Structure 1
Amino acid sequence: MLESTWKKEAEKDKLKDAERASQLVSWIFTAIAAWFLLAHWTEDTGFYTSEFDQLDAVLLFGPLLFGVLPPLVRTLRGRKNVARPWDIVGSMLFVLSSAYFLCAFPFDMAFFAVPLPEGMRFLIDWVTEDIAKVVLVIGVIGGIFGIGWTTLTYFKVRVVLEHRAKL
């Protein structure tokens, strides 16, 4: 039933130059997120509560920084499937991090928008602790499904690509 899905995915495995360049968009969003969260830390905005410690920092920044690896692999190798194991590991780190922060929430959302210029704070100053936790729950659930789908896709596409290479 899904065999045509894997064959189509295998046909799209090789990235065109424009697709390779578009991987930079992931880097840009990661850099913005990292800047934003690091700004809270370096400027001591109050967003991180006194409970936020080194373990929390590793669990927050680690998956974020690891997230640059899959697009880097896709950019350098020019193929999607070789980056899927990196995507899977990154998703696992994201799910574990999100689940951890659902249990230990060392953030004060009243200060979430502080790093933004005054005129832009309205864009995110409405995010409450409850909304942030709902986003984390969605991330955990979506991440778990994503891990399963990406893993299945990786192995199925690999079989198709190996079969084509033998022909």
Structure 2
Amino acid sequence: MKRNDKLTIGIATTALVLGGTLAYAQDKYSLKSPGGIAYSDFKGYEDWAVISSARTDDILKVIVGNPTIIKAFESGIPGNGQPFPDGSKIAKLQWKHQKSTEAPFVVEVPAVFSQNFVMEKDSKRFPSSGGWGYAVFNYDPSSDSFSPDAGSPADCGHTCHQAVKAKDYVFHPYQQR
């Protein structure tokens, strides 16, 4: 094989890899949950403001919100008894965790990303679940891809969120900064 042939193959391989990366980014936002919630409704969640964080025995969670819900929190919702406005969106980003191998003290850090649990306020679309639609998108690190959770109808989170009905079904307060 000549040098030019190797160069051509290398450039074609690079283009294929880059093209695959671009296609993946488009595929993520083309997903829909079984309940009809589109991943594209949450486009840009990677840069949304942090609302809160949480930790279970197995999972670290960072809860982020779109500008609509952040503005609502800043105006006193839900503490003032008002509901969140339609268009409010939350993404709960979830990682398996591990002990940091670099910190000189004990601290748990994200290891493997596992899920994006999302909530979307739309009183017309989701009247039977307090105006909120819920969906889970699982992440598979081996294929670097998301898939809608087959068991997540649009009201999948409503039963758990009944416990915070007085807070318009939102568990996490907007934390003091």
Interval of TM-score (by shorter of Structure 1 and Structure 2): under 0.3
Structure with the bigger RCO (C-alpha within 8 Å, sep 6+) is: 1
Larger radius of gyration: 2
Task: Name the TM-score, length of structure 1 as normaliser.
Answer: 0.27
Q: Which is helix-richer, 1 or 2?
A: 1
Structure with bigger strand share is 2
